[in-house]
């Protein structure tokens, strides 16, 4: 926190207090000393396995490892066996302690991920991260063995962002897998991944991805700056980070997008955005975010443009509906019934005749009970959930009407609104609009249509003042950008969208070959991509 | 940091304080079911027996009532809850006494009458859905100033409502019970709206009537309706006005004359054409489908002269006897010629009729004002002057009839 | 980041600022003003008014381009001296404060008369003013963004209502198109030109434009669109109602919305909906005049930030808004103030332009 402006290193800047005192200590080569240090630092926690043994029958050694995080088979086969029973070519050779480190590394261990380390703090950190540490009597350096093995679930369909046409893979909790999913789609030399640890105690691994040569370097700098400032003891999900790097904490609108789709991340990287991933979270963050991202889906681009433009418009209508529909209803029923056709108005009056509350109260009650119902449906076990939602909607709605609690039209309005809010692909944006619906209903109850407009103006002014990493939130609509408009309300044909969004200030503006662009030359000589497959970890 | 936080909190508090008065607000919230939705209004002269009026907007002595004579106002209020939501349900709409409430009150002016009414009805009267205002001929002949002023001033009243003059009592229109619609007023309204669509009546909403009667060179007119025995309503012509007073009414067929002279489309009147005056078998019926009129204005001896050219396209609908051969083009020509001749007479009659009363419902004066502004401002200038001059204006009418189709029958 | 530099405002943004500033509550009684002056020649008078107003706008733009880094409050000091310049600035501040309060009151009256009949007019006025005051606390860029965003919402209702009312319009009502009653026409021209005084805001915008040379184009586009909309509204209402009927209507534009219904009776009358959408138009107008007042105050006191004044000014503006006794009194005041204002918004820049030209003063050109 205090040393925010210090030159950045790839290792973490924030340090857990308990490890800080070991920062400058080296191990000396005495097993007893190391044992004491580990005892002192970890306090004899019982899931730490301490294995004492003799290397080649001569050198005393201890291997430390958290037994539940370590791959025992690998340790046994690739580490313990060669150490205890020297390989064929070493048999009979007596190895002095000075050479031992090199011999072990170069000739003995059958494992790809082994390194030397003498800093105590680093050793402890590695140990906590699931690696095994081998300390040898008389050796000034310990060996770190990458033995981490943590159970993870398989790659599944993204639960919240399903598509009909498009890839079926979603991120999982493991950062390594997630990175491999990205690199597999984006086999480009320009993809950069920067790693860091955040969380004083949890030391969560955080990866920042961007495209060199496309992403605005200022954005990368700004993100680094914001990540540096985070000093929290635990980062359990990318959502924690989101709340630290967003620009306006008091706004109901999300300024960072999250997704569990690797293809979406790749598309965003190619537009010049940055992706942030946290180990242990299946949701990646994307910055900078503008409002139109919240009603766009991957499918918009995989299906043909005419159809998807229409669907995107429908989604937009649903979004606006879910915000203003109940308040419009209140305003028209209680303030301006002259707007609706006479036959209908007379009939609506009939429907409302037995309801004891004013329309505002009626709508508010129904909205609140709808929110309760929705929340209940999410929390319920899946087997019960389906039954409850049907019971809830049908029975409660019908009962409310026949009990004279609500008019049938109110039930229709609330149902439409609720369904409309489900049509918004981004859950957090839908949440914001759901929340804002309530003040709008109250405004409508006080001032009618006039009140709704005042409320909407306040909301829009707020939206206009929002920025995500310096990018105005309503770009490309305001400030206007002709090229951006092709992908705003409708989705233009891919062949016509030749440029990356200008508001992201990309280094390389064109994304389609053959664009007559002044700055487009640089891209022609793009080197052929490397096709090495990343090793699965 | 702390100071800023405190300031922000103070600002939030100030905003919250500013918003609290809003909570005491809801000044205008009035639920739709708490409004007495007035669908129709009738205005009659009060008769002797009606004058049992309580003093609600005036007190004898201190706040004397205006000395205009009393009006009797009837309103048709939709009863919430009685008209079912959605189509079909219940089907009990046939008896309007169950869906509507008709109340009559007496007052010194329209507003006074409504105040008297409000005194008797708990819900607030709401005119946003007022569709029909029926005025009895007697009231219309006395003058419409008060009525026009009241409804124009009231922001709830729509300009698309219908104002009409009834022969006899207007209040009977409120209690009429046509069988086709749940709400009688809506039936009346759709009768008029449909007659526009079928070319039987000009667009003459209350707003258009107001605009027309405001114009210097034009007078307003209103539909003239009669309640028939079957509880249905017949549009039986135009009630035409001079300034704010009704001065006469036309026959139903003469509405076609107005429409023809104005060239209003679509057209929809049928006419009998007698090829031979003495031979009853020679009659055929034609249906006019398209009208077009050109009005040419010239000045003859310092007086305006209008040359009106009307072009009608018609279809032959029916003939009364077989011996007339329609497949002969010369016969068709003959029909065309005959209809042109009769039409000229017909049109001239209508113009004469309105000229006699000095009521230029066609807007000929507007033609002068717009085409010959110099002459207008020199010689006419005011509405009253034009009303006088209209009587002496000369017209000649030329009609061309073209028969296009004769239906599915070959002869 | 990259694009929020010192001079962020583009030519198109300037044009939209002008249009949404000019289209406001003044449009509601506009046909009445025009018809009172010239009966059926109302569109002609409107055009004269637009012409007159564009002279003032073009003068201001010319001055702005000549001093591309300064507002009128700065270069007036250099042209006519510090004392006179300060007096001019004070007059501008006073005038636009009054203009703000009158616009708020006028709209408050419209709302209270036609939609919210039992709501106190104070409430509707204070709501609009608070909304404007809060929104003026944002930087100039955001001011431009707001205008930019609301601009399409001004076009939609006007165009929609005009197109729908074409059905009922009669050519005869618009003839004769020229009327000779010079004195009335002249006064009417001034009254209509006074509705365009919000265009003064251009002088604050030019120093923040990316390319100040393009301000002239922005002004011309702005006045053409705004003037075009004025013309369309006047023609449509005169065409539908006829001149004589309009004389009997307080807000003919609103009445036009009332007489229009969407096809297939989706909405049977548009007045309440129109008024609701018009809140945005009035908001942008108030925003501009309030912002201009604050900006002038800021430069008068040589402050860094204009936000300080936004709430200090509020009680004064509100108090002034409450001064007129009733609607007819209000319109009397509006017409008088508008015509007096022409001295400030047209004559004052004209004098400045003349002196600048004669004394050959000009600002540093854009670096």
pLDDT for B345-378, tens place per residue? Answer: 888 888 888 888 888 888 888 888 888 888 888 8
Q: Which of B85, B96, B128, B185 to mutate to test the interface with A (most CBs of A within 10 A)?
A: B85
Of B26, B31, B83, the CB nearest to A350: B83
Q: B128 vs A335: CB contact, 8 Å cut-off? A: no
Q: Which of A249, A342, A358 to mutate to test the interface with B (most CBs of B within 10 A)?
A: A342
pLDDT at A302 over 50: yes
* Chain A positions in Cβ-Cβ contact with residue B22 (cut-off 8 Å): 446
Average pLDDT, rounded, for chain C: 86
Q: Given pLDDT bands bounded at 50, 70 and 90, which one contains residue B64?
A: low
Of A335, A350, A445, the CB nearest to B84: A350
> For residue range B371-408, what is the model confidence (pLDDT) as tens digits?
888 888 888 888 888 888 888 888 888 888 888 888 88
Residue with more model confidence, B58 or B107: B107
- Residue B226 to residues B142, B172, B231, B237, Cα–Cα distance (Å): 19, 10, 10, 10
At residue A531, the pLDDT reads 40
Helices (H), C242-270: 243-246, 252-259
Q: What is the 3-state secondary structure (H, E, C) of chain B?
A: CHHHHHHHHHHHHHHHHHHHHHHCCCCCCCCHHHEEEEEEEEEEECCHHHCCCCCCCCECCCECCCCCCCEEEEEEEECCCCCCCCCCCCCHHHCHHHHEEEEEEEECCHHHHHHHHHHHCCCEEECCCCCEEEEEHHHHHHCCHHHHHHHHHCCCCCCCCEEEEECCCCHHHHHCCCCCCCCHHHHHHHHHHHHHHCCCCCCCCHHHHHHHHHCCCCCCEEEEEEECCCCCEEEEEEEEEECCEEEEECCCCHHHHHHHHHCCCCCCCEEEEECCCCCHHHEEEEEEEEEEEEEEEEEECCEEEEEEEEEEEEEEEEECCCCCCCCCHHHHHHHHHHHHHHHHHHHHHHHHHHHHHCCCCCCHHHHHHHHCHHHHHHHHCCHHHHHHHHHHCEEEEEEEEEEEECCCCCC
The alpha-carbon gap from A358 to the nearest alpha carbon of chain B, in Å, equals 6
Q: How many Cβ pairs closer than 8 A exist between chain B and C?
A: 71
At residue B346, the pLDDT reads 86
Q: A479 vs C142: CB contact, 8 Å cut-off? A: no
Give the residue from chain A lying closest to B100, CA to CA: A346
Of A448-452, C13-17, C254-258, C304-308, the one with minimum mean pLDDT is C304-308
> For residue range B252-262, what is the model confidence (pLDDT) as tens digits?
888 888 888 88
The alpha-carbon gap from B84 to the nearest alpha carbon of chain A, in Å, equals 6
pLDDT at A55 over 60: yes
φ and ψ of A483, to 5 deg: -70, -35
With vertex at residue A531, the alpha carbon angle to CA A529 and CA A535, rounded to the nearest 5 degrees, is 135
B294 pairs with which residues across the strands? B309
The alpha-carbon gap from C4 to the nearest alpha carbon of chain A, in Å, equals 8
Give domain limits for chain C. Answer: 11-352
CB contact A236 to B (< 8 Å):
no
* Chain A positions in Cβ-Cβ contact with residue C273 (cut-off 8 Å): 339, 449
Q: How many Cβ pairs closer than 8 A exist between chain A and C?
A: 96
Cα dihedral C164, C166, C169, C172 in deg (nearest 10):
170
Instruction: Quickly count: other Cβ atoms within 10 Å of residue A50's Cβ.
Output: 13
The alpha-carbon gap from A446 to the nearest alpha carbon of chain C, in Å, equals 10
Instruction: Quickly count: other Cβ atoms within 10 Å of residue C298's Cβ.
Output: 19
pLDDT at A33 over 50: yes
Of B33, B78, B85, the CB nearest to A408: B85
Average pLDDT, rounded, for chain A: 83
Q: How far apart are CA C125 and CA A454, in angstroms?
A: 12
> For residue range C88-108, what is the model confidence (pLDDT) as tens digits?
899 999 999 999 999 999 999
Q: Which of residues 43-82 of B touch A (CB under 8 A)?
A: 78, 80-82
Contact partners for chain C, using 3 or more CB pairs closer than 8 A, are A, B
Q: A218 vs C1: CB contact, 8 Å cut-off? A: yes
pLDDT at A527 over 90: no
At residue C5, the pLDDT reads 55
Q: C111 vs A453: CB contact, 8 Å cut-off? A: no
Give the residue from chain C lying closest to B19, CA to CA: C127
Q: How far apart are CA A113 and CA A482, in angstroms?
A: 51
Task: Determine how β-strand B162-166 pairs with β-strand B221-227.
Answer: parallel
* Chain C positions in Cβ-Cβ contact with residue A465 (cut-off 8 Å): 138, 142
Q: Which of B1, B15, B27, B33 to mutate to test the interface with A (most CBs of A within 10 A)?
A: B33
Q: Given pLDDT bands bounded at 50, 70 and 90, which one contains residue A259?
A: very high
**CB A217, CB A192: distance < 8 Å:** no
The alpha-carbon gap from B350 to the nearest alpha carbon of chain A, in Å, equals 37
Dihedral sign for Cα A35, A40, A44, A45, please. negative
Maximum Cα–Cα distance across chain A: 105
Dihedral sign for Cα C127, C128, C131, C137, please. negative
pLDDT at C111 over 80: yes
Q: C259 vs B367: CB contact, 8 Å cut-off? A: no
At residue A209, the pLDDT reads 94
Per-residue pLDDT, averaged over A443-450, amounts to: 87
Per-residue pLDDT, averaged over A276-288, amounts to: 92
pLDDT at B90 over 60: no
Dihedral sign for Cα A164, A165, A169, A171, please. negative
At residue B52, the pLDDT reads 59
Q: Which of residues 140-169 of B touch A (CB under 8 A)?
A: 156, 158
At residue B96, the pLDDT reads 56
pLDDT at A40 over 90: no
* Chain C positions in Cβ-Cβ contact with residue A454 (cut-off 8 Å): 127, 131, 279
pLDDT at A352 over 50: yes
Of C3, C142, C265, the CB nearest to A341: C265
Q: B363 vs C176: CB contact, 8 Å cut-off? A: no
* Chain B positions in Cβ-Cβ contact with residue A355 (cut-off 8 Å): 33
* Chain B positions in Cβ-Cβ contact with residue C268 (cut-off 8 Å): 158, 160
CA proximity to A297, closest of A184, A477, A165: A165
At residue C2, the pLDDT reads 38
Per-residue pLDDT, averaged over A112-124, amounts to: 87
Q: A447 vs C119: CB contact, 8 Å cut-off? A: yes
At residue A223, the pLDDT reads 92
B394 pairs with which residues across the strands? B305
pLDDT at C1 over 60: no
ipTM rounded to 2 decimals: 0.91
The alpha-carbon gap from A379 to the nearest alpha carbon of chain B, in Å, equals 34
Q: How far apart are CA C99 and CA C106, in angstroms?
A: 10
CB contact A340 to C (< 8 Å):
yes
Q: B31 vs A352: CB contact, 8 Å cut-off? A: yes
At residue C156, the pLDDT reads 86
Q: How far apart are CA B249 and CA B252, in angstroms?
A: 9
Q: Is the peptide bond before C138 cis (omega within 30 degrees of 0)?
A: no
Q: A349 vs B28: CB contact, 8 Å cut-off? A: no
Q: How far apart are CA A244 and CA C304, in angstroms?
A: 30
Which domains occur in chain B, in start order? 32-249 (no CATH), 254-405 (3.30.300.210)
Which of the given ranges, A371-385, B51-65, C72-86, has the highest pLDDT on average?
A: C72-86
Q: Please, what CATH class does the domain formed by C11-352 belong to? A: mainly alpha
Contact partners for chain A, using 3 or more CB pairs closer than 8 A, are B, C
Of A463-467, B2-6, B94-98, B143-147, the one with minimum mean pLDDT is B94-98
> For residue range A16-27, what is the model confidence (pLDDT) as tens digits?
446 777 778 888
At residue B180, the pLDDT reads 66
Residues on C contacting A at a C-beta cutoff of 8 Å: 1-4, 8, 10, 12-13, 111, 115-116, 119, 124, 127, 131, 134-135, 138, 142, 144-146, 148-150, 265, 267-269, 272-273, 275-277, 279-280, 283
Residues on C contacting B at a C-beta cutoff of 8 Å: 40, 113-120, 123, 130, 168, 172-176, 179, 240-242, 244-245, 247-248, 255, 258-259, 261, 268-269, 271
Q: Is the peptide bond before C5 cis (omega within 30 degrees of 0)?
A: no
> For residue range C47-76, what is the model confidence (pLDDT) as tens digits?
999 999 998 899 889 988 888 888 888 888
Residue with more model confidence, B20 or A318: A318
pLDDT at A4 over 50: no
Note the pTM of the prediction, 2 decimals.
0.87
Instruction: Quickly count: other Cβ atoms within 10 Å of residue C329's Cβ.
Output: 11
Per-residue pLDDT, averaged over B17-28, amounts to: 64
Q: A345 vs B37: CB contact, 8 Å cut-off? A: yes
> For residue range B230-250, what is the model confidence (pLDDT) as tens digits?
777 788 888 888 888 888 888
At residue B318, the pLDDT reads 84
* Chain C positions in Cβ-Cβ contact with residue B27 (cut-off 8 Å): 116, 118-120, 123
> For residue range C120-159, what is the model confidence (pLDDT) as tens digits?
888 889 888 989 998 888 888 888 989 989 988 888 888 8
pLDDT at B29 over 90: no
Of C13, C134, C280, the CB nearest to A453: C280
The alpha-carbon gap from C55 to the nearest alpha carbon of chain A, in Å, equals 29
At residue A273, the pLDDT reads 92
Name A217's Cβ contacts closer than 8 Å, sequence gap at least 6: A507
CB contact A438 to B (< 8 Å):
no
The secondary structure of residue C270, as a DSSP letter, is -
pLDDT at A83 over 50: yes
* Chain C positions in Cβ-Cβ contact with residue A216 (cut-off 8 Å): 1-2
Average pLDDT, rounded, for chain B: 81
């Amino acid at each position: 926190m205090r040393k925010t402006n210090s030159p950045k290193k790839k290792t973490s800047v924030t340090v857990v207090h308990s490890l800080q005192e070991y920062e400058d200590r080296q191990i000396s080569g005495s097993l007893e000393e190391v044992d004491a240090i580990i005892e002192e630092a970890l306090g004899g926690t019982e899931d730490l396995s301490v294995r004492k043994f003799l290397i080649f029958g001569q050198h005393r050694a201890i291997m430390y490892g958290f037994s539940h995080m370590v791959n025992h088979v690998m340790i046994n086969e690739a580490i313990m066996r060669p150490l205890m029973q020297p390989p064929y070519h070493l048999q009979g050779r007596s190895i002095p302690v000075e050479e031992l480190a090199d011999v072990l590394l170069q000739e003995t261990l059958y494992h790809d991920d082994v390194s030397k380390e003498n800093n105590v703090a680093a050793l402890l950190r590695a140990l906590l991260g699931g690696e095994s540490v081998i300390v040898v009597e008389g050796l000034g350096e310990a060996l770190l063995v990458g033995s981490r093995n943590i159970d993870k679930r398989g790659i599944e369909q993204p639960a919240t962002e399903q598509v009909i046409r498009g890839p079926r893979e979603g991120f999982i909790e493991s950062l390594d897998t997630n990175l491999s999913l990205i690199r597999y789609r984006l086999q480009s030399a320009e993809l950069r991944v920067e790693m860091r640890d955040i969380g004083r105690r949890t030391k969560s691994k955080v990866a920042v991805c961007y495209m060199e040569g496309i992403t605005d370097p200022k954005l990368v700098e700004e993100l680094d700056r914001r990540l540096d400032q985070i000093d929290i003891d635990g980062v359990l999900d990318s959502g924690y980070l989101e709340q630290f790097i967003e620009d306006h904490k008091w706004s109901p609108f999300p300024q960072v997008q999250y997704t569990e789709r690797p293809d979406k991340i790749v598309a965003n990287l190619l537009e010049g955005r940055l992706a942030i991933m946290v180990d242990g979270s299946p949701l990646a963050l994307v910055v900078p975010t503008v409002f139109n991202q919240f009603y766009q889906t991957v499918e918009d681009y995989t299906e043909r443009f005419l159809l998807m433009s229409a669907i995107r418009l429908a989604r937009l209508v649903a979004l606006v509906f879910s915000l203003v529909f109940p308040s419009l209803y209140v305003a028209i029923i209680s303030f301006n019934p002259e707007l609706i056709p006479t036959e209908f108005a007379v009939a609506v009056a009939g429907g409302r005749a037995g309801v004891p509350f004013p329309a505002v109260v009626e709508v508010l009650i129904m909205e609140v009970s709808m929110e309760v119902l929705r929340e209940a449906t999410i929390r319920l076990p899946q087997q019960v959930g389906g039954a409850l939602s049907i019971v809830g909607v049908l029975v409660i709605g019908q009962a409310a009407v026949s009990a004279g609690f609500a008019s049938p039209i109110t039930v229709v309005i609330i149902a439409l609104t609720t369904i409309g809010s489900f049509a918004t692909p981004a859950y957090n944006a839908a949440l914001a609009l759901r929340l804002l619906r309530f003040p709008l209903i109250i405004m409508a109850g006080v001032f009618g249509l006039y009140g709704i407009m005042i409320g909407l103006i306040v909301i829009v002014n707020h939206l206009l003042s929002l920025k995500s990493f310096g990018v105005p939130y309503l770009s490309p609509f305001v400030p206007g950008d002709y090229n951006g408009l092709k992908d705003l309300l409708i989705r233009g044909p891919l062949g016509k969208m030749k440029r990356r969004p200008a508001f992201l200030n990309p280094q390389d503006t064109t994304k389609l070959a053959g664009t007559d662009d002044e700055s487009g030359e640089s891209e022609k000589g793009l080197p052929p991509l490397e096709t090495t497959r990343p090793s699965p970890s | 940091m702390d100071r800023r936080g405190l300031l922000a909190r103070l600002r939030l508090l100030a905003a919250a304080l500013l918003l609290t008065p809003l909570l005491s607000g809801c000044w205008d919230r009035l639920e739709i079911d708490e409004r007495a939705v007035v669908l129709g209004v009738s205005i009659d002269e009060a008769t002797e027996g009606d004058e049992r009026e309580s003093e609600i907007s005036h007190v004898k002595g201190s706040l004397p009532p205006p000395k205009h004579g009393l009006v009797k106002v009837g309103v048709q209020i939709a009863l919430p809850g009685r008209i079912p939501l959605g189509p079909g349900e219940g089907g009990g709409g046939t008896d309007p006494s169950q869906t509507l409430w008709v109340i009559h009150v007496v007052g010194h002016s329209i507003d006074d009458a409504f105040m008297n009414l409000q005194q008797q009805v708990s819900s607030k009267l709401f005119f946003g859905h007022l569709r029909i205002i029926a005025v009895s001929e007697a009231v219309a002949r006395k003058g419409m100033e008060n009525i026009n002023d009241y409804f124009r001033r009231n922001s709830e009243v729509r300009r698309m409502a219908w104002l009409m003059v009834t022969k006899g009592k207007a209040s009977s229109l409120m209690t009429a019970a046509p069988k086709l619609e749940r709400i009688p007023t809506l039936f009346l309204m759709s009768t008029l709206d449909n007659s526009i669509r079928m070319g039987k009546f000009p667009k003459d909403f209350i707003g258009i009537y107001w605009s027309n009667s405001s114009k210097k060179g034009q007078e307003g007119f209103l539909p003239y309706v009669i309640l028939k025995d079957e509880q249905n309503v017949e549009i039986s012509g135009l009630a035409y006005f001079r300034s704010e007073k009704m001065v006469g009414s036309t026959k139903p067929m003469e509405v076609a004359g107005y429409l023809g002279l104005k060239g209003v489309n679509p057209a929809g009147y049928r006419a009998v054409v007698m090829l031979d005056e003495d031979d009853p078998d020679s009659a055929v019926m034609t249906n006019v489908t398209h009208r077009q009129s050109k009005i040419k204005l010239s000045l003859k001896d310092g007086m305006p002269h209008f040359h009106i050219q009307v072009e009608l396209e018609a279809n032959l609908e029916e003939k009364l006897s077989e011996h007339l051969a329609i497949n002969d083009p010369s016969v068709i020509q003959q029909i065309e010629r005959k209809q042109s001749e009769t039409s000229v007479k017909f049109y001239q009659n209508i113009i004469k009729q309105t000229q006699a009363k000095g009521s230029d419902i066609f807007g000929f004066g507007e033609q002068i004002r717009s085409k010959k502004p110099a002459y207008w401002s020199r010689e006419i200038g005011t509405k009253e002057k034009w009303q006088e001059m209209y009587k002496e204006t000369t017209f000649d009418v030329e009609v061309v009839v073209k028969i296009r189709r004769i239906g599915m029958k070959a002869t | 980041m990259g694009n929020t530099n010192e001079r962020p405002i583009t030519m198109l943004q300037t044009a939209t600022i002008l249009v949404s500033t000019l289209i406001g509550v003044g449009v509601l009684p506009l046909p009445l003003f025009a018809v009172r002056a010239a009966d059926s020649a109302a569109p002609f008078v409107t055009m004269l008014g637009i012409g007159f107003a564009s002279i003032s706008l073009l003068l201001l733009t010319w001055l702005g381009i000549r001093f591309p880094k300064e507002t009128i409050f700065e270069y007036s000091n250099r042209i006519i001296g510090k004392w006179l310049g300060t007096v001019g600035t004070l007059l501008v501040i006073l005038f636009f404060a009054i203009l703000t309060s009158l616009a708020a009151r006028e709209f408050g009256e419209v709302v209270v008369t036609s939609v919210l009949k039992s709501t106190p007019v104070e409430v509707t006025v204070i709501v609009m003013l608070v909304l404007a005051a809060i929104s003026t606390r944002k930087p100039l860029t955001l001011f431009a963004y707001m205008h930019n965003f609301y601009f399409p919402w001004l076009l939609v209702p006007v165009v929609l209502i005009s197109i729908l009312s074409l059905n009922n319009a009669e050519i005869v009502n618009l003839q004769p198109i020229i009327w000779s009653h010079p004195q009335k026409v002249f006064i009417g021209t001034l009254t209509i030109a006074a509705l365009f005084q919000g265009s003064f805001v251009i002088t604050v915008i030019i120093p923040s434009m990316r390319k100040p040379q393009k301000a002239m184009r922005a002004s011309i586009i702005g006045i053409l669109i705004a003037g075009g909309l004025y013309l369309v509204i006047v023609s449509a209402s005169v065409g539908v109602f006829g001149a004589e009927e309009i004389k009997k209507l307080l807000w003919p534009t609103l009445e036009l919305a009332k007489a229009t219904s969407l096809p297939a009776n989706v909405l049977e009358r548009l007045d309440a909906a129109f008024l609701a959408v018009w809140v945005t138009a009035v908001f942008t107008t108030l925003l501009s005049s309030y912002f201009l007042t604050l900006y002038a105050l800021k430069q008068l006191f040589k402050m860094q930030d204009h936000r300080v004044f936004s709430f200090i000014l509020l009680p004064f503006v509100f108090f002034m808004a409450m001064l007129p006794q009733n609607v007819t009194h209000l319109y009397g005041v509006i017409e008088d103030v508008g015509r007096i204002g022409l001295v400030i918004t047209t004559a004052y820049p004209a004098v400045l332009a003349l002196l600048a030209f004669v004394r050959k003063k000009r600002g540093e050109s854009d670096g």
